[in-house]
């Protein structure tokens, strides 16, 4: 952390190694290194012996070298702890103490030596791309291997277990050989990604020493005499904030200023990439303390600066629900999730006994619509139910300010209404709520809407004012309100915001409702013969737990060229049905037929039935966006030119042109969702199933996505969409099926 001190300075060692336990990123990296090292090491504890009766050939020993060059002192702790974990599976004993120390140094010495070898140093990044980097790498590996071998060999001989002359060469040669063979390709693969993800220790250490760049007066608190006045009237104050993340070409926030009053409900809107999430992260210090970059301006919450105290200390003051909400789940059941959130801040002491705590949990779960699910595993819940659980885990601490990024994305209509009642309850308690979203029709009771575009605050007003200006909403990527759009071009100054207002205005203007003339959609498919059944479920049931059916006796069929919407409450079995259709799940009872073939007896179905998961992280795996999208088309046997054409079309459809060479996991959740959809669109399967296709999309992205699917449908592809968006159902679907309640999983009818 302090590169002004020489690499051999004990003061530098102390500061750097202690800092790992104070930086959340480094602590998480240490834990991950320990887990990976132990997982790869354990099988070789009983592997191939170099010395009869002694096991030492361990390819896992390349991990401390590579981790050290990438993550610095975090690798020292991870390597030492990982080795002890490995010992627990066969060789744990007094020698494990020296094993910890030897591996600790093995994971620390490479970082200390790289770039500090005088004229022998290459002066380049820790990779082997030139002969000078190669020479430096060999010296670093040999030195670290020797330190590790000497430490363990001396300690084991001291304990009288094995002689030094026998153990030292075995450890030294194993470490050196593994590092020389496996290290260079691993570094070539990992270093660019670690840099892209802003996890390279050289960057983290510089940021920790220098702090975020800002104006000399950028984050000074107001005079003490004015702080009490601010605290009494303003909950959140954002003053002239500009932020450009590391490696970003332009700022994501530009001179943003906003004051939010106590108990106010404010909605942040704008197209994807407008800066909504970055502004949310600034409200609890994640920007710029965790997401580093150039920062100017000031953010205070109840008079306290968000950059002058650690993020973890602000958790009770500012509760945050991320757009990628599943990353916030950590426990094994619903009640434990809430308990963990409370115990992390010492909140359980606020309850007199266990029963009062459980009563608090029951009230909160009832408020978010999860009552009776206290013992369920969070990951056995539906996506919408998990989203509600994360909201509950934030509210259990009763923060004075609650920030939610896209909290309505996975909620069904009933869940949305319950969420709105929750917002009313929070406002009644005087809690300030700030929400980032794309659609405002569900948030009519918000006090204010703030629209961002390209990082700037471009409009503020009430929800009614925004809904009454469809042109304004469309200009900034906000989903227009269909009810107001119906009256555009009419002789009226105020557009309606409710159904009652629409009827009154229609009567005033003398307008009547004319039923649309339904006709078969245009299609390139010959309709002279009845369409064939391409997918059929026959009396299908699925049980995840005994006595709890996810689906119960479902029978439904899908014809070629249909565009079908599947609706239902969160937890009603919609995603389970989708996984049955492409063979990811097998039914407990009944049959699933694809083109007349039983899925339990059929091989690969991905070329026939494409499925886009509700969570994109469950299917993304490639190292670049281009490779991810091209994978399905390449596997289907299309020519390179055809694959390139399909990749280009899919990228355009989801609005990711220009991101071809990005790592998918460096993108936001909404962008990853687009990558997942594009990867299936490029393959153009005969049957396409998309689970919540427009989650996290703005109005322009949603229209682009659905038009792409409509085009495929007109070409004869069968499209099945799982959605809560009734606009999609009305504008695109030719038929819909409604899933039953969560405790039955029945198809109620088309």
SS3 per residue for 440-487? CHHHCCCCEEEEEECCEEEEEECHHHHHCCHHHHHHCCCCCCHHHHCC
Q: Among residues of the chain, what percentage have pLDDT more than 70? A: 85
pLDDT for position 419: 84
CA quadruple 326, 327, 329, 331: dihedral positive or negative? positive
Taking Cα atoms as reference points, which of 369, 409, 436, 448 lies closest to residue 696?
409
Beta bridge partners of 558: 535
CA angle 390, 395, 397 (to 5 degrees): 115
Q: Are 115 and 176 in contact (CB under 8 A)?
A: no
Cα 190 from chain centroid (whole Å)? 20
Q: Which helix (H) or strand (E) holds 62?
A: helix 62-71
42-95 tens-digit pLDDT: 776 555 444 444 445 578 889 999 999 999 999 999 999 998 998 887 777 888
In this structure, which topology does domain 10-207 adopt according to CATH?
Arp2/3 complex 21 kDa subunit ARPC3 (1.10.1760)
What are the sequence ranges of the domains in the chain?
A: 10-207, 230-457, 464-509, 533-749
pLDDT for position 440: 65
Residue 579: CB partners within 8 Å, gap ≥ 6? 585, 611
Q: Which residue has the higher pLDDT, 354 or 182?
A: 182
Terminal CA-CA length for the chain? 63
pLDDT at 367 over 90: no
Against a cut of 0.95, is the pTM above it?
no
Instruction: Note whether 230-457 and 533-749 share their fold.
Output: yes
Phi and psi based region of residue 244 (left: phi greater than 0; alpha: psi -120 to 50; beta: remaining): beta
How deeply is 290 buried, as exposed, middle or buried, from its count of CB atoms within 10 A (0-12, 13-18, 19+)?
A: middle
In eight-state DSSP terms, residue 298 is: E
417-464 tens-digit pLDDT: 888 888 888 888 889 999 998 776 667 778 999 999 999 999 999 888
User: pLDDT band at 496, cuts 50/70/90?
Assistant: confident
pLDDT for position 397: 83
Architecture of domain 230-457 in CATH? 3-Layer(aba) Sandwich (3.40)
672-682 tens-digit pLDDT: 888 888 888 88
Q: b/e for 420-447, b at 16 or more Cβ within 10 A?
A: eebbeebbeeebbbbbbbbbbbbbeebe
313-359 tens-digit pLDDT: 888 889 999 988 888 888 888 988 888 887 776 655 566 677 888 88
Which tokens go with 547? 């006595």
pLDDT at 736 over 70: no
pLDDT for position 222: 46
Q: Are 286 and 715 in contact (CB under 8 A)?
A: no
Domain 533-749: CATH superfamily, name plus number? P-loop containing nucleotide triphosphate hydrolases (3.40.50.300)
pLDDT for position 230: 46
User: pLDDT band at 598, cuts 50/70/90?
Assistant: confident
Mean of pLDDT values over 490-499: 71
């Amino acid at each position: 952390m302090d590169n002004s001190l020489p690499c051999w300075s004990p003061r530098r060692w102390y500061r750097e190694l202690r800092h790992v336990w104070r930086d959340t990123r480094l602590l998480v990296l240490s834990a991950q290194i320990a887990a990976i090292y132990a997982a790869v090491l354990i099988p070789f504890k009983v592997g191939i012996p170099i010395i009869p009766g002694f096991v030492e050939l361990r390819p896992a020993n390349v991990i401390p070298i590579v981790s050290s060059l990438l993550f610095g002192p975090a690798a020292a702790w991870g390597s030492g702890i990982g080795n002890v974990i490995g010992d627990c599976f066969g060789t744990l004993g007094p020698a494990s103490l020296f094993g910890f120390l030897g591996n600790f140094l093995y994971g620390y010495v490479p970082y200390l030596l790289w770039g500090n070898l005088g004229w022998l140093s290459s002066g380049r990044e820790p990779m082997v791309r030139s002969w000078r980097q190669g020479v430096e790498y060999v010296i670093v590996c040999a030195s670290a291997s020797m330190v590790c071998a000497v430490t363990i060999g001396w300690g084991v001989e001291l304990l009288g277990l094995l002689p030094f002359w026998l153990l030292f060469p075995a450890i030294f040669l194993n470490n050196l050989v593994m590092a020389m063979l496996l290290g260079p390709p691993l570094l070539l693969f990992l270093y660019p990604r670690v840099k892209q993800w802003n996890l390279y220790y050289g960057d983290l250490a510089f940021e920790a020493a220098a702090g975020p760049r800002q104006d000399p007066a950028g984050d000074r608190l107001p005079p003490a005499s004015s702080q009490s006045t601010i605290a009494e009237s303003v909950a959140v104050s954002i003053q002239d904030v500009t932020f450009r993340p590391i490696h970003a070409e332009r700022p994501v926030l530009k001179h943003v200023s906003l004051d939010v009053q106590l108990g106010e409900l404010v909605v942040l809107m704008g197209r994807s990439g407008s800066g909504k999430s970055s502004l949310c992260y600034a409200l609890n210090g994640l920007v710029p303390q965790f997401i580093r970059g150039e920062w100017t301006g000031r953010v205070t919450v109840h008079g306290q600066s968000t950059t002058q105290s650690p993020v973890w200390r602000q958790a009770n003051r500012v509760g945050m629900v991320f757009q990628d909400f599943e990353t916030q789940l950590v426990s094994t059941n619903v009640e434990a999730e809430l308990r963990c959130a409370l115990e992390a801040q010492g909140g359980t002491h606020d309850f007199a006994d266990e029963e009062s705590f459980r009563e608090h949990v029951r009230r909160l779960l009832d408020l978010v619509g999860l009552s009776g699910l206290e013992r369920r595993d969070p990951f056995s819940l539906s996506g919408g139910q998990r989203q509600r659980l994360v909201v509950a885990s934030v509210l259990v601490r009763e923060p004075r300010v609650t920030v939610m990024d896209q909290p309505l994305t996975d909620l069904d209509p009933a869940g949305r209404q319950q969420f709105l009642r929750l917002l009313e309850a929070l406002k009644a308690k005087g809690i300030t709520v700030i929400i980032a979203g794309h659609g405002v029709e569900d948030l009519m009771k918000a006090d204010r809407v703030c629209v961002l575009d390209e990082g700037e605050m471009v409009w503020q007003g009430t929800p009614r004012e925004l809904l009454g200006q469809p042109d304004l909403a469309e200009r900034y990527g906000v989903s227009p309100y269909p009810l107001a759009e119906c009256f555009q071009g009419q002789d009226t100054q105020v557009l309606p915001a409710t159904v009652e207002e629409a009827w009154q205005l229609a009567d005033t203007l003398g307008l009547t409702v004319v039923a649309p003339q339904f006709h078969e959609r245009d299609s390139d498919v010959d309709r002279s013969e009845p369409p064939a059944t391409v997918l059929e479920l026959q009396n299908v049931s699925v049980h995840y737990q005994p006595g709890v059916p996810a689906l119960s006796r479902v029978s439904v069929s899908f014809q070629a060229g249909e565009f079908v919407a599947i609706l239902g409450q969160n937890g009603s079995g919609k995603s389970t049905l989708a996984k049955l259709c492409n063979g990811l799940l097998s039914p407990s009872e009944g049959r699933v037929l694809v083109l007349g073939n039983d899925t339990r007896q059929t091989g690969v179905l991905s070329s026939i039935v494409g499925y886009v998961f509700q969570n994109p992280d469950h299917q993304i795996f490639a190292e670049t966006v281009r490779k991810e999208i091209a994978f399905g088309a390449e596997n289907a046997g299309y020519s390179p030119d055809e694959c390139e054409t399909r990749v280009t079309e899919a990228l355009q459809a989801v609005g990711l042109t220009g991101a071809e060479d990005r790592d998918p996991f460096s993108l936001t959740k909404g962008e990853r969702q687009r990558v997942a959809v594009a990867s299936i669109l490029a393959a153009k399967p005969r049957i396409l199933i998309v689970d919540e296709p427009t989650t996290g999309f703005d109005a322009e992205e949603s229209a682009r996505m659905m038009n792409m699917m409509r085009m495929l449908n007109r070409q004869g592809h069968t499209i099945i969409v799982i959605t809560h968006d009734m606009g999609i159902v009305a504008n695109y679907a030719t038929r819909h099926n409604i899933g039953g309640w969560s405790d039955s999983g029945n198809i109620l009818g088309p």
